[in-house]
Amino acid sequence: MADRNRVPPAGRGKVGGTESSIILHVDMDSFFCSVERALDPRLRGKPLIVGGFPEGRGVVVACTYEVRKKGVHAGMPAGRARSLCPEALFLPSRPKVYTQISSGILEILSRTTDRVEPTSVDEAFLDVSGLAGGFSAAVPVAQRVRRRIRERYGLPASVGIGPTKAIAKLASRRAKPDGIEVIPGERVREALDSLPVTAMGGIGEKTAASLGALGIRTLGELARADELVVRRFFGKNGLLLLRLARGEDVSPVLSWDAVPDPKSMSNERTFPRNIQDRESIESAVLHLTEKLARRLRKEGFRGNTLVIKVRFPDFRTRIRSRVLPRFTDDEKTLYSLAREGVFRYAEGKPLRLIGIGLANLVRTIEREEELELDHSRSHYRDSLPVFDAIRDRFGERMIRKARLL
């Protein structure tokens, strides 16, 4: 049965960045922490940090708003977060749970419009340009999306509405937490001019410092800057900076099947305690490569550039890459090469973190010649789809290598 509340598909022609474009940016509020609170009501109202360990190892993955006010942010070492907010509760990250709920939220968004572009596990753009009534009619759509998410999962979401993706994302920031903000085309200049350049997504601290050297500190000053000067300092990115500041971003909302393929995939793990013995390192590398290979197969990719990352207790980090003779998604191949690399780069020293990645990815359209280090075991690869299917249905622990038990 057709959904009466579904937004009609946007018409042909210009999409995004035009006067008639209406873009929604749906951003889940403190997503990981909100999920934990929804699953355990006893956590409601308490300051939470997801990721890291109470004793100070690892990094913050997410935190609640009251914790952010203390200066804590994602990516911060857990020890530093603990010193800034000692009353916060540390919770382990549960990626599988978050991903499952994210998929359900994407389903809700997809029932609203055909043009949905997820940009991460907790945010997405929606193009509702086919609405009659313009920006005023987009507000009930945003309210309906937020209501459906809360009814199904008990989670808060903020929605920004604007004529471009960049403006919609800026509006969702202003809507937080748990609100709706509209910046129609005629209010773009009013909304942007006095903001610092870092308020616009895509302009980081380094770019802001370079703009500051030119006397440009606000988006209004950037919008009025001399194009030749900006392009001289920033090259081809100069025009993009000007368009962002002027609210002229023309990038369209890409449907799921039109989103560009990833260039790489990786997994990493920070250990509760430094590891140095061979058995612990081998087990960690095995877990990471198995997880990476399964993800590659699930999403239909192979790669030929192995990336290894090791971090020492003093936070010194080494990242090295190696080009393989064939494209692969095989965990035995990745494990053998990654183990060799980790031991070589670690030089016998204790490790705080290990990361394994594969870059230069290509779609697995047909079965290419596979890099096999052990030809006598090539039949093992034929069993991998069966193992993957069992894990998908019954859980990761249903089939595990003995070393990981």
Clarify whether residues 270 and 224 are in a common domain: no
Contact assessment for residue 180 and residue 142, using Cβ atoms and an 8 Å cutoff: yes
Q: How close are the terminal C-alpha atoms of the chain, in Å?
A: 47
> Domain for residue 327, yes or no?
yes
Residue 52 has a pLDDT of 84
Clarify whether residues 301 and 367 are in a common domain: yes
Least Cα distance to 180 among 153, 155, 156, 211 occurs for 156
> Domain for residue 217, yes or no?
yes
279: its two tokens: 């058995």
Residue 366 has a pLDDT of 43
> Domain for residue 186, yes or no?
no
Clarify whether residues 240 and 276 are in a common domain: no
Clarify whether residues 224 and 305 are in a common domain: no
Whether the model pTM is above 0.85 = no
> Domain for residue 321, yes or no?
yes
> Domain for residue 139, yes or no?
no
The H-assigned helical ranges of 270-379 are: 278-299, 331-346
Clarify whether residues 383 and 285 are in a common domain: yes
Clarify whether residues 274 and 197 are in a common domain: no
CATH code of 222's domain: 1.10.150.20
Clarify whether residues 230 and 342 are in a common domain: no
Residue 255 has a pLDDT of 73
Clarify whether residues 324 and 351 are in a common domain: yes
The amino acid present at 88, given as its one-letter code, is A
Element (DSSP H or E) covering residue 233:
helix 227-234
117: its two tokens: 């572009």
Clarify whether residues 48 and 82 are in a common domain: yes
Catalytic residue (choose from 66, 87, 117, 123): 123
Contact assessment for residue 40 and residue 107, using Cβ atoms and an 8 Å cutoff: no
Clarify whether residues 270 and 331 are in a common domain: yes
Domain boundary among 95, 112, 129: 95
> Domain for residue 47, yes or no?
yes
Clarify whether residues 204 and 306 are in a common domain: no
Provide the domain limits for residue 215.
193-245
Q: Which residues of the chain have pLDDT under 50?
A: 1-4, 10-19, 366-378
Residue 130 has a pLDDT of 79
Q: How far apart are the C-alpha atoms of 53 and 40, rounded to whole Å?
A: 20
Domain boundary among 95, 129, 150: 95
Beta partners for residue 180, in sequence order: 159
Q: How far apart are the C-alpha atoms of 328 and 325, rounded to whole Å?
A: 9
| Whole-number Cα distances in Å, 106 to 86, 134, 162, 286, 318 | 35, 24, 20, 32, 37
Active site residue 123: yes
Clarify whether residues 223 and 291 are in a common domain: no
> Domain for residue 77, yes or no?
yes
Domain boundary among 95, 117, 146: 95
CATH code of 41's domain: 3.40.1170.60
Contacts of 115 (CB under 8 A, 6+ apart): 9, 10, 15, 126, 127, 128, 253, 255
> Domain for residue 140, yes or no?
no
Least Cα distance to 302 among 240, 238, 368 occurs for 368
- Count structural domains, the chain: 3
